[in-house]
Structure 1
Amino acid sequence: MDKKEFPVLIKYCFLKGKNTVEAKIWLDAEFPDTAPGKSNIKDC
């Protein structure tokens, strides 16, 4: 997945009520090879 698309997915997670840990777990499960790190999720 393109790195430019992850901020949109992270925003989707937050709109669904997920916190940073839950968002990271979801992204790791869906995109194991390309998921951003926890610090990148906090910066969005």
Structure 2
Amino acid sequence: MKAMMLAFAAIAVIAVGSNVILGQAGFSSQDRATGPAVRLDN
């Protein structure tokens, strides 16, 4: 049971960490899928 809870915590840390790191690095789908000819309404 202890190993399972540790694995769940590790999954949560990896998921949140990768989301933050990739967001800061400019790898969001909005950044990757748009070009200079695309106008996005914010």
Query: Would the TM-score normalized by the shorter structure come out above 0.5?
Result: no
Superposition TM-score tier, normalisation by shorter sequence = 0.3 to 0.5
Higher RCO, 1 vs 2 (CA within 8 Å, ≥6 residues apart): 1
TM-score by length of 1: 0.33
TM-score by length of 2: 0.34
